[in-house]
Each structure stands twice: as structure tokens, then as C-alpha cells.
Amino acid sequence: MKFQAKMRIVYIVLGILAAVVSGCIYYSTSADKIYEREMHNLSFSASQLNQQYDEMIKSMEDISYYLLSDADMLAAITSISSMVRSENTENYFQDAEKEIRTRQNNDYIRKRFYRVIFCNDNCDPIGNNEDIRRGVNYKEMPWYEKAEKNTDTYTTIGLHWDPWGLEDVQVFSVIKQIQGKNMGYIEVQQSVDKVREKLRTADEDLKVCLMNGEGELLYWNTQVDMEFCRSLCGRGEAAAGRFPGRDGTEYLAAGVYNEEAETMVLVYKNSSIIQDDMMHIMSMTLFLVGAMLLFSMLYVAISTRHLTKSMIQLQNVLENTSLETLNRSEPLEFGNENDEFQQIGQVYEEMRSRLRRAIARESQLLTLQLQAQFDMLQAQVNPHFIYNALNVISSRGILDDDEVICDMCDDLAGLLRYSTDTKEKYASIKAELMYLELYFSLLKYRYEHKLEYTIGLEESIAGQRVPKLVIQQLAENSINHGYANSSKVMKLSVAGYQEGRYWYIRIRDNGEGFSGEVLERLTEEIAKLKQDLLDNRQNVEMKIGGMGILNTYARLYLLYGEDLIFRITNREEGGAEILIGCNRSAIQEERNV
């Protein structure tokens, strides 16, 4: 077998091994990322739904507090509870019922809740609307026995058909027993549409199950596997993971247990749903492996042909060498890229010269044995694998059951990915604010309650392009310099909005603001920098360094030119405000920022 064929076989085998190993690593890593993403989404959805459920219940409870804290409302309820209904007291009863109905029927309650009902032994049910059944005995309600026992707390009834209404409507109820003898009950109802709106999930495939400590189903967004849900609810907190269902079904699920409300929010989906993602990863893996194999074969074919070209030339010269041709001068030229073969050619010429002299000198010598030794240097590269320190820290955080470390590593990894990506000089406002959210979340770990921030963005300007990291630079400047001599809570707000043909980004803080001297100096330096940019853009760009306000202004001006709006002011209530903006219709030319 020729040397060229051997080289091709060796390199092709190496290419196949490299492609297969790379494909396995890619598939394994991608599959793990998909699973981790699903687990994170499940945990986040469960926590978010638990919070939304708490907020919904709290708002319904607050209505009862609000009504019972009203002196006129409480006086009317007390009158109905303490009087005996007769012809003499009928007018008092009617006035009290009217007062209760009036208090229940304000705009806030009607807009946010389906129905609020007061019921008592001495009167018909009083609701904030007229479409209710009369003569209903509230003691026959499904919540009565529980509410009778919960004198100090609220009773929650999950989705059920409204027993008060004239139409078949599903509602969610919170009932409060009014303290005092025969004072009655207040029931706050929320319609099923409002409940589903409040407990909606972004993932349409996600099934939601809300159960109380007794295993009763309070809310569900679609048909659920009750046996599976009850099995997880019995465990308390359910960390995101894989769980077996009935008939061999496997679910991806996560649950959050609310000790105060004694409820369990469970979200789950069939694990087969992520198989489509796995098949896509498999297809991509096969494509990448095939592409690597094709590339490696082409590379091996071309490279081996080029590398052995000089060897074949040397072989031909050696084959044509004989005693008759020793005196012929045939210089070998292999090119500068083949230094080793060039040296071999020089050795060959010297050998032929010595051979000619030896034959002339020693005519009796019949044979001459020549041994050539060649020393070839081979650069041996020891690969150094770069370990991702953040992944190591995150793994230790998982081992120590410290989710805060994992969240910090995820946020920091997101910051590094975004800030070190030099392929793109510009980013959308939405991407900039997502990066700023990661930056603030990391600062939260450091400052905790001493840092409060809000970030808002109108969707109409989310796609506008700005130089990367400009918003973060201004926010960081506020934190670093706005509170140097202050210990109060740092409050920052970042808002992106549109007014007319212009879009704006406004950064506000409640810090010390800019001194008059600093504002005047910044105004002068910005004006000078603008003139320098107009006169000699290239040289000015080379002088701009750091990540401060002037750098930010320079990059924005180089992108937007005269369409740029850049204002620095102090707020009357304290703190500073920086406003940047631009005309939406302005042509954003590609500039070397």
C-alpha cells in the first residue's frame, strides 16, 4: 500500500472518530440543556402561579376587610342581625339592606369581582347585582360547614357552579364569617374567566392543578390526571423532575406548597412533548457529523496529495539515478513550504557528489553503502481544556442545595455572553433591557433591600437599535456616583417609550444628582466632543476610552448624528435623570462606532 493511501486512511479514521465524538458531545449537551430548560420553566411557572394565586386570594379577602371596616356597612349588618323583622321594623330593614347593597355596588368591586353577597338569617341574600335567586338558604351552600368552623380565617371554595345565580356560571369563592352573634357571612366570587386569566401560563401544553390540603381540586386549566396530582400533593414541595404517571406515562412536573394557605400548585406536562426537540437535536447532530466527515475527507484528500507531492518527486529522481547519471546535475526544487524535503534534496546532491569522488578515487570499490539519517521535528500540542468556572460554581451550588448561587451563576453567565459577544456592535432596546435586568438582579444580591428598580418598555420601540451596553453604562453610573455620600435606599427606574415620531429611554434615580459644576463641565465637554466628532471622527474615536457618559454620548452620536436627543438634568424631588432618544423615521446608517 502506498504511503499516500496510508496517510489518507489514518486521517480519515481520525476524522470519523472526531466527528462521532463531537456529535455525541453535542447531542448530550443539547439534550441536557433542553431538560434543564424545561425544569427551570416548570419551577418558574409553579412559583409564578403560586404568587398569582396568593395575590388573587388576597384581593378577594381585602374586599371583605374593606366592607367590614366601613362603619355604615357594619352598622347596617348589626341592625339586621339584632332586630326582629316585623311591620314596625320593616323600614329599618329596608334601609339597612339598601345601605349594604350600596356599599357592595361601587365601581371598584363591580369591575374586579363577579359578585359580592351578604347572607344572614334575618334577610334574603344581598348581592351587588340583581340577578340572584331569592329565598336561598345559605346554610345549604357547599361552603357553610367549613365557614362555620373557620371563625377567624377565610374559607376558600374552588371552581363550582354558582348556587346564587340565575345562570349556570362557574365561580371561585372566598367566604368570611362576620364576628358576632348571627352576623352572617360575606362571600366574594370571581368568575372562571377571570380566574383563568390570572392563572394563565405561557406554555399552552402545561397542565395546572391547584389543590388544598385535603386533596380537593380548587382549580384546573384542562383535564388533569387526578391520581397523579394527589400523589404529588401528598409529598409537600415537589422539586422539578420526572415523575411516573398511570399506564406507564412519564410526566415532567414541579409543585409549590403554600403553607399559609395550605394549598399546592402543581404544573406538569407529558415528557413526550420534548421528544420533538430531541428529534430536532438528533437531526442536527447527524447533519453536523455528516458535514464534519465530508469536510474531513475533502481536507485529507487535498492535504495528503499536497504533502506527498515532494516525496513523489524525490522518488522519481531516486528511481532514475544510476551510475550512468551520477554526473548529470538535476537540482531538486520542493518549494519553501517543504523545508524537510529541501534538506533531503541537498543531502541527496551531496551524496551524489561524494559518490562520484569515491568512484574516481576507489575504482576497485564495487559497492558503497550510504546511510542517511534525518531528524524531523514534530510539534506536539498538548490540548488545554478550558473549564467553565461558572458551571463549576453552579454545580457546587446544586450539590449544596443553594439555588441562589445557581441563579447568580446563570445571571452572570448571561451577562458575560452578552457583553463579550463582539460579533454585533448594536442591539435592540429589548435586548439591552433584558441585559440590564440581569445586571440589576446581580446587584440585588449585593445591595438586597437597599436597591429598588423598575424597568418598563413599550413594545412599539422594542426593536429599535442602539449601541450595545449604553443603557447599562448609564445605570451603572447612577449607582456608582449618585449615592457616594448617601445611605438611603437606591431607587432607579428605566423606561422605554414613544412620543409621536420619537422614541425615548429615560434613566432616573433618587441619588444626590449632579452638582452645578459637574453639569456645566459635562455640557461643555459634550459640546466639544460633538465638534471634534464632526471635524475628525477617526482620531476622536481613538481617544475615547472607558465606559462613561462621554463614551456613551460619542457612540450614540456616531450612530444617530443630529437626530440624537441626549439630556442630563437634576430632578426637583432629588436625584438625576438622563434622557436619550431619536426620531423613529431617521435612517440609521452603518457607522464605525
- Whether 122 maps to a domain, the answer reads yes
Residues 303 and 372 in one domain: no
Residues 295 and 325 in one domain: no
Residues 226 and 86 in one domain: yes
Question: Three-state secondary structure along 78-109?
Answer: HHHHHCCCCCCCHHHHHHHHHHHHHHHCCHHH
Give the cell for residue 30: 443539547
Q: For residue 530, what are the CA distances in angstroms to 40, 188, 527, 540, 541? A: 47, 62, 5, 10, 11
pLDDT value at position 457?
92
pLDDT tens, 221-274?
888 888 888 877 765 677 888 888 777 788 889 988 888 878 889 998 888 877
- Whether 398 maps to a domain, the answer reads no
Residues 187 and 285 in one domain: yes
- Whether 407 maps to a domain, the answer reads no
**What residue type is 499 in one-letter code?**
E
Q: How big is the CA angle at 16 (ends 10 and 19), to the nearest 5 degrees? A: 140
pLDDT value at position 248?
76
Residues 168 and 39 in one domain: yes
- Whether 109 maps to a domain, the answer reads yes
**What residue type is 278 in one-letter code?**
M
- Whether 590 maps to a domain, the answer reads no
Residues 544 and 570 in one domain: yes
Q: How many domains, the chain?
A: 3
- Whether 185 maps to a domain, the answer reads yes
pLDDT value at position 388?
41
Q: How far apart are CA 42 and CA 252, in angstroms?
A: 8
> What is the domain range of residue 184?
1-307
CATH label of the domain that carries residue 213: 3.30.450.20
Residues 286 and 326 in one domain: no
Residues 223 and 260 in one domain: yes
Residues 344 and 488 in one domain: no
pLDDT value at position 410?
67
- Whether 466 maps to a domain, the answer reads yes
Q: How far apart are CA 156 and CA 218, in angstroms?
A: 8
pLDDT tens, 342-394?
666 667 677 777 776 666 555 443 332 333 232 222 223 233 332 344 554 55
Boundary-marking domain end, from 384, 407, 436: 384
Residues 506 and 545 in one domain: yes
Going across the sheet that includes 564-570, the strands are: 451-457, 490-499, 502-509, 576-583, 564-570
Q: How big is the CA angle at 218 (ends 214 and 221), to the nearest 5 degrees? A: 135
Strand partners, 576: 570
Residues 347 and 431 in one domain: no
pLDDT value at position 179?
87
Global pTM reads: 0.48
pLDDT value at position 541?
46
- Residues (pLDDT < 70) of the chain are 1-4, 234-236, 310-311, 314-315, 318-346, 348, 356-404, 406-407, 409-415, 417, 419-423, 536-547, 585-593
CATH label of the domain that carries residue 440: 3.30.565.10
- Whether 42 maps to a domain, the answer reads yes
Q: How far apart are CA 19 and CA 225, in angstroms?
A: 44
Boundary-marking domain end, from 275, 307, 339: 307
pLDDT value at position 580?
93
Residues 286 and 380 in one domain: no
pLDDT value at position 185?
92
